Amino acid sequence: MSATPHDLSALTLHHPEIATLRARREISWLNPGRLDITQAQASPALQASGVGEQDIEAAEARLARFAPWIAEAFPETAAASGRIESPLVAAPSLQQALGESLATSDTSHASGQTLPGRLMIKCDHQLPISGSIKARGGIHEVLKHAERLAVDAGLVRLDDDYRAFEHPAIQALLANQRILVGSTGNLGLSIGIMSARLGFRVTVHMSADAKQWKKDLLRSRGAEVVEHSGDYSKAVEAGRREAQQPDAHFIDDESSRDLFMGYATAASRLARQLEDQGIAVDARHPLCVYLPCGVGGGPGGVAYGLKQVFGDAVHCFFAEPVNSPCMLLGMLTGKHDGIAVEDIGLDNRTCADGLAVGRASAFVGQVMAPLLSGIYTLSDDSMLEWLALAHDSEGLKLEPSALAGVPGIIRVLRNDAPEWHAWRAAVGLDDDEVQANTTHVIWATGGSMVPDEIWQADYQRGKALLASAGRSSDERLP
Ligand SMILES: *Cc1c(COP(=O)(O)O)cnc(C)c1O
């Protein structure tokens, strides 16, 4: 259902940002609803969310129980004792390239000047098993479901060695159970691969924009793939309908707390990695984190976890394609899943298939309302250009979605936007010393499973864009 022209002009009057969204121009939005962490925790939004810190701890404990089984079932995790985790690495060459990009678009920054602070990449594209951030949430929910079934059947106890999940009795139990999911691709990969390995019957409903190689890979692992001509919401709807049978579990990307908590476990692990590298995070050493956002569960879960761990010292930003700014639209208007990008005339088409979502999760939007610092959008061309630059500077092989976090640091440090000056002053980031002590983390959400010839094609497009008029378009921020 689309908004009438009257609704739309009333909405735009209220929220002038909608005109920019409709024009498909890049935008940076600061969340006026953000609260200090103590106020946020006491806010009705978080009180009503039905989730809390104990849920993150429960998810961490569950992943630890399964680690011995994971280490054997997925040998690539054996070296990490069955922990599914990704590296955190410094990105000095990309930082240099971003500094040059900022200098050309914002003349108050001198060219050749390195950006202050430390730029780092959280390499979720290297996560084992499914090569994207979905290896956090998707896998946790499948494991939780398997655990509950096995415990209820009396086949395993919480303090048992979970290598028991290889026993024929548990495999037979799970073989009679179905798992269903609707996905643009990467969630389907995570759920499909893990479910099939545990012995579940698994069906992945995929949208038209899902890439062929993901469908092929899933089928090769024993998952059933159902293709839909419509978008992501249609695929989810089909999965949800089909799951209305006994012995079927639908993984609900739009509102699952179990997915969300799987993502949230990333926070304590990031804290440990920062500590191991001697990087402090506190009021004088802030952390800024840039998270590509689709339906919201992945970035939302990570941001929620980070706010629990670091409180006011962390500033979380989401990044969305100009054609799919569903979370921005939902949070800006407060309508959450009551409005879709199609309602304002956008077509939800983007090369960033992981972010091709027209309607955001209401659960995530409400939880993020007092916690999130802001959201920015970027064009497909920008993502492809960053894809080429991230490769040329740091040797990274990322899929387009995973590049959305790259320009976050320059959005935050731009001098030509008064509201960002005010924000920096309010959070202490206007102080030179604090800026120099800030750690910026780009969450690189996927890419290592992309077949080389497909990645090469995106890389060549990015190179061509950089070589042509490139960044000169005034419709684009860096
Ligand atoms: C799914 C995905 C995201 C976003 O996660 P959501 O939970 O949909 O918001 C970002 N990047 C990649 C590569 C993804 O697959």
* 88 neighbors 58 (Cβ within 8 angstroms): no
Q: Report helix angle 134-152 to 186-198, nearest 10.
A: 30
Residue 233 pLDDT grade (very low, low, confident, very high; cuts 50, 70, 90): confident
Closest Cα to residue 341, out of 351, 328, 326, 331?
Answer: 326
Q: Do domains 5-51+85-128+260-468 and 134-255 have the same CATH topology?
A: yes
What is the 121 CA–ligand 1 centroid distance (Å)?
16
**In angstroms, what CA-CA distances link 40 with 44, 285, 426?**
8, 21, 17
Mean pLDDT (whole number) for 357-373: 96
Convert the pLDDT of each residue in 282-293 to its tens digit. Answer: 999 999 999 999
Architecture per CATH, 5-51+85-128+260-468:
3-Layer(aba) Sandwich (3.40)
Convert the pLDDT of each residue in 469-478 to its tens digit. Answer: 654 444 455 5
Instruction: Please list every protein residue whose CB sits less than 6 Å from any atom of ligand 1.
Output: 132-134, 186, 292-299, 354-355, 399, 401-402, 445-446
- In percent, the amount of the chain with pLDDT more than 70 equals 95
Mean pLDDT (whole number) for 243-258: 90
What is the 355 CA–ligand 1 centroid distance (Å)?
6
Residue 418 pLDDT grade (very low, low, confident, very high; cuts 50, 70, 90): confident
The pLDDT, as a whole number, for residue 478 is: 52
What is the 217 CA–ligand 1 centroid distance (Å)?
18
**In angstroms, what CA-CA distances link 256 with 126, 188, 252?**
24, 15, 5
The pLDDT, as a whole number, for residue 472 is: 43
Higher pLDDT, 391 or 212: 391
What is the 298 CA–ligand 1 centroid distance (Å)?
6
The type of residue at 392 is D
Mean pLDDT (whole number) for 213-232: 88
The pLDDT, as a whole number, for residue 231 is: 73
* 51 neighbors 359 (Cβ within 8 angstroms): no
Convert the pLDDT of each residue in 83-115 to its tens digit. Answer: 999 999 999 999 999 998 887 777 666 666 789
372-410 b/e with 16+ CB inside 10 Å = b? bbbbbbbbbbbbbbbbbbbbbbbebbbbbbbbbbbbbbb
pTM comes to 0.95
What is the 184 CA–ligand 1 centroid distance (Å)?
9
The domain segmentation of the chain, as residue ranges, is 5-51+85-128+260-468, 134-255
The pLDDT, as a whole number, for residue 112 is: 61
> Is the confidence at residue 245, as pLDDT, over 80?
yes
Q: Which atom of ligand 1 is nearest to the CA of 399?
A: 13
Architecture per CATH, 134-255:
3-Layer(aba) Sandwich (3.40)
What is the 189 CA–ligand 1 centroid distance (Å)?
12
The pLDDT, as a whole number, for residue 473 is: 44
* 394 neighbors 120 (Cβ within 8 angstroms): no
> Is the confidence at residue 128, as pLDDT, over 50?
yes
What are the beta bridge partners of residue 282? 285
Q: Ligand 1 pocket test: which of 123, 126, 134 has the largest number of ligand atoms within 8 Å of its C-beta?
A: 134
Q: Ligand 1 pocket test: which of 255, 372, 397, 445 has the largest number of ligand atoms within 8 Å of its C-beta?
A: 445
**In angstroms, what CA-CA distances link 202 with 37, 212, 357?**
40, 18, 23
Q: What is the mean pLDDT of the chain?
A: 92
User: 234 burial class (0-12, 13-18, 19+ CB within 10 angstroms)?
Assistant: middle
Q: Ligand 1 pocket test: which of 355, 443, 450 has the largest number of ligand atoms within 8 Å of its C-beta?
A: 355
User: 133 burial class (0-12, 13-18, 19+ CB within 10 angstroms)?
Assistant: buried
Mean pLDDT (whole number) for 20-25: 96
Residue 3 pLDDT grade (very low, low, confident, very high; cuts 50, 70, 90): low
* 90 neighbors 118 (Cβ within 8 angstroms): yes
* 273 neighbors 280 (Cβ within 8 angstroms): no
What is the bridge-based pairing of β-strands 201-206 and 224-227? parallel
Of 161-170, 204-213, 245-254, 331-340, minimum mean pLDDT range: 204-213
Mean pLDDT (whole number) for 122-135: 96
Mean pLDDT (whole number) for 291-306: 97
At residue 355, φ and ψ (nearest 5 deg) are -115, 5
